């Protein structure tokens, strides 16, 4: 009860008031700038902004296509690889991408696909005859494909993880055996029987991914076309315009973005409903999609390739980043640096160490706080009904409430304090921690506790010495996820801290927009290292933990 109240006070109320803080100026009411009349005039001005429709289309197109691709590729991967002993490498190969921040993936794709990027260096000049980069660009391109690629590479692993967690709540093997008995192949059986159950459980993660894609700023700055850019980037540009009238236009655009997000989700669910109806009709007619084993093998290869390409490109991009950070001179078309060296590390290290410490402190405290509160929340049996509230910050485009929230924080004199920043991170980290912890927690077999209770163990000791150790692996995973989320946050960091706490992400975005590839490379290397180290640390600890249990069992 108290916890619920606290969560509402700390998560829901500020977000809603932030929303109001955007809503009023959008409709022209903002006394500090001398405007006290409600009107639609700023929406009309927004309408007149050059290229507004192109921006809207770009946001809609990239969000829908990237969500579609990452969702269905993740589903196909699950259908083909779930429970197959040899498939472990795919998951191991994809999971590092989960911890790498969006901006780093974007920079990697840039370093790989831009005209002077690694890809063209690889085929020049021996194949293409180019001794100068060509006047064509794969990233950033003019249509948003590079952004789609980046988002897909980043969201696919997340949806895969969410899918695995959802599957653990479904009796997959039993259902699959039954479908097999009825004469369905492994894949058609999967899509008729398991996919409907899985889709229902994937609704929330997909919504989160979709809304993130509509509102993403850092990745779009690097990969999206620039005239005009996506709506999210333009909102930021308008907010940062020195002509103060644009404050109102930006506020109106933030309201518009909210509707755009709604529209995207609407399209998604209508489309999904049609698809499910189609599946149902096919299953009623008993269509079994019987394919020869060779064709099935071929299909499987194609799908695997499709799913792996965005991730592979990103991983190669990450490698390019690492090499750039050690390049003193690297001219086109050399495939490797002409002069290797540590100069950029020396240049940037002072600032980056500070930023790295901030990222570390912030990530650790936000993740630890979230994990503790999440455990308390999940232990509270009535929590589930209210759980939707927690996700509100993820269901709203960031710009639509963060600007209003900044106003509120300044008004309360809370702006720029470390605790405020920690709280802003908590808003976004907590839902992800719950998301990754909840299913394991609810699946816990309470009979262990019953046995202990019957032996006279107090409830505190039962929790501390039985439940907690048995759930240590999901807890550590949730912590690592929380840390990764925190270290990737851009807008919330900028707005809650007044820019005073530089994190590796804010540094990287500043450098991505401005500085040389070498400096950007250094920042990005540090940025990918930090969450990866935390991930690996958790993984390592998990293994030790698991082996200890094995020892117990043997003994």
Partner 1 sequence: MRIHNHTKHLMIIICCVVVSIFPFFMAKADDFSSISSQATGQTVYFNAWGGSPAINAYIRWVGKRVEEDYGITLVHVKLTETAGAVTRILAEKASGKVSGGSVDLIWINGENFATMKNNDLLQSADWVSGLPNFALTNPEKIPGIISDFGTPTDGLESPWGRAQLVFGYDSAYVATPPISAEMLAKWIKNNPGQFSYPKPPDFTGTSFLKQILLEVSPDRSVFSKPADQADIDQALMPLWQWLDQVHPYLWRSGKAFPANYTALVQLLGDGEISIAMAFNPTEFSNGISQGILPDTVRTYIHDDGTLANVHFVAIPFNAAAPEAAQVVANFLLSPEAQIHKADTAIWGDPTVLDLSKVSASDQAAFMALPRGVATLSETDLGLTLAEPHPSWVGVIEREWARRYTGQ
Binding site for partner 1 (CB under 8 A): 30, 32-33, 50-51, 54, 115-116, 131-133, 135, 137, 140, 142, 225-228, 237, 239-244, 247, 328-329, 331-332, 339, 343-344, 347-348, 350-351, 406-407, 410-411, 413, 415-416, 498-500, 502, 506-507, 509-511, 513-519
Three-state SS string over 321-360 comes to HHHHHCEEECCCCCCCCCEECCHHHHHHHHHHHHHHHHHH
Peptide bond between residue 228 and the one before it cis (omega within 30 degrees of 0): yes
Q: What's the CA gap between 450 and 456, in Å, rounded? A: 10
CB of 222 to partner 1, least distance (A): 10
Residues 6 or more apart whose CB falls under 8 angstroms from that of 381 comprise none
Longest dimension (CA), the chain: 80
Q: With respect to partner 1, which residue has the nearer C-beta, 104 or 436?
A: 104
Q: What's the CA gap between 467 and 455, in Å, rounded? A: 15
Q: With respect to partner 1, which residue has the nearer C-beta, 135 or 445?
A: 135
- Do 109 and 223 form a contact (C-beta atoms < 8 A)? yes
Q: With respect to partner 1, which residue has the nearer C-beta, 51 or 278?
A: 51
CB of 439 to partner 1, least distance (A): 39
CB of 417 to partner 1, least distance (A): 11
CB of 64 to partner 1, least distance (A): 20
Q: What's the CA gap between 140 and 393, in Å, rounded? A: 29
Q: With respect to partner 1, which residue has the nearer C-beta, 93 or 130?
A: 130
Q: With respect to partner 1, which residue has the nearer C-beta, 96 or 521?
A: 521
Q: What's the CA gap between 310 and 72, in Å, rounded? A: 14
Radius of gyration of the chain (CA): 25
CB of 498 to partner 1, least distance (A): 4
CB of 398 to partner 1, least distance (A): 16
Q: What's the CA gap between 506 and 523, in Å, rounded? A: 10
CB of 315 to partner 1, least distance (A): 24
Q: What's the CA gap between 471 and 458, in Å, rounded? A: 19
Q: With respect to partner 1, which residue has the nearer C-beta, 30 or 441?
A: 30
Return the number of other C-beta atoms located less than 10 Å from residue 485's C-beta. 24
Q: With respect to partner 1, which residue has the nearer C-beta, 27 or 239?
A: 239
CB of 210 to partner 1, least distance (A): 24
Residues 6 or more apart whose CB falls under 8 angstroms from that of 291 comprise 185, 299
CB of 235 to partner 1, least distance (A): 13
Q: With respect to partner 1, which residue has the nearer C-beta, 52 or 291?
A: 52
191, 278, 380 from 196: Cα distances, Å: 7, 12, 30
CA nearest 527: which of 365, 366, 368, 356?
356
CB of 335 to partner 1, least distance (A): 14
Q: With respect to partner 1, which residue has the nearer C-beta, 247 or 524?
A: 247
- Residue 104: φ, ψ to 5°: -65, -45
Q: With respect to partner 1, which residue has the nearer C-beta, 331 or 443?
A: 331
Return the number of other C-beta atoms located less than 10 Å from residue 228's C-beta. 20
SS3 35: strand
């Amino acid at each position: 009860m108290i916890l619920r109240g606290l969560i509402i006070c700390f998560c829901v109320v500020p977000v809603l008031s932030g929303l109001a803080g955007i809503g009023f100026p959008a409709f022209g009411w903002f006394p500090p700038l001398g405007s006290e009349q409600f009107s639609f005039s700023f929406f009309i001005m927004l309408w007149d902004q050059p290229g507004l429709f192109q921006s809207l289309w770009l946001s809609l197109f990239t969000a829908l296509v990237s969500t579609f691709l990452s969702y269905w590729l993740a589903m196909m991967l699950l259908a083909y690889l779930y429970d197959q002993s040899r498939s472990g490498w795919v998951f191991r190969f994809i999971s590092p991408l989960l911890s790498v921040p969006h901006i780093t993936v974007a920079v990697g794709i840039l370093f790989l696909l831009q005209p002077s990027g690694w890809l063209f260096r690889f085929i020049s000049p021996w194949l293409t005859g180019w001794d100068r980069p060509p006047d064509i660009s794969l990233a950033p391109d003019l249509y948003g494909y590079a952004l789609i690629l980046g988002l897909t590479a980043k969201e696919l692993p997340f949806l895969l993880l969410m899918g695995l967690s959802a599957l653990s709540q479904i009796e997959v093997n039993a259902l699959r055996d039954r479908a097999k008995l009825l004469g369905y192949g492994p894949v058609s059986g999967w899509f008729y029987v398991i996919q409907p159950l899985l889709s229902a459980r994937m609704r929330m993660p997909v919504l989160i991914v979709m809304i993130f894609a509509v509102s993403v700023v850092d990745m779009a700055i690097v990969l999206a076309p620039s005239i005009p850019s996506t709506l999210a980037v333009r909102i930021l540009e308008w907010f940062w315009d020195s002509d103060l009238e644009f404050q109102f236009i930006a506020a109106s655009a933030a309201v518009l973005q909210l509707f755009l997000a709604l529209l995207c989700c609407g399209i998604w669910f209508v489309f999904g409903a049609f698809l499910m109806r189609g599946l149902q009709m096919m299953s009623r007619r008993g269509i079994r999609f019987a394919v020869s084993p060779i064709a099935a093998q071929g299909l499987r290869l194609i799908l695997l390739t499709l799913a792996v390409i965005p991730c592979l490109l990103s991983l190669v991009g990450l490698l390019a980043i690492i090499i750039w950070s050690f390049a003193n001179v690297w001219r086109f078309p050399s495939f490797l640096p002409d002069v290797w060296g540590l100069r950029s590390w020396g240049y940037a290290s002072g600032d980056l160490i500070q930023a790295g410490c901030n990222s570390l402190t912030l990530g650790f405290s936000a993740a630890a706080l979230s994990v503790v509160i999440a455990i308390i929340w999940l232990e509270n049996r009535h929590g589930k009904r209210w759980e939707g509230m927690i996700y509100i910050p993820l269901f709203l485009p960031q710009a639509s409430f963060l600007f209003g929230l900044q106003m509120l924080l300044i008004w309360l004199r809370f702006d720029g304090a470390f605790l405020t920043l920690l709280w802003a991170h908590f808003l976004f980290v907590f839902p992800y921690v719950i998301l990754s912890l909840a299913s394991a927690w609810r699946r816990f077999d309470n009979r262990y506790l019953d046995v202990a209770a019957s032996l006279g163990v107090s409830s505190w000791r039962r929790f501390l010495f039985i439940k907690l150790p048995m759930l240590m692996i999901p807890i550590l995973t949730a912590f690592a996820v929380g840390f990764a989320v925190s270290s990737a946050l851009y807008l919330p960091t900028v707005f809650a801290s007044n820019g005073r706490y530089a994190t590796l992400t804010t540094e990287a975005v500043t450098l991505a927009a401005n500085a040389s590839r070498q400096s950007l490379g250094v920042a990005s290397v540090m940025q990918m290292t930090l969450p990866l180290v935390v991930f690996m640390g958790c993984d390592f600890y998990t293994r030790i933990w698991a082996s200890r249990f094995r020892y117990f069992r043997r003994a």
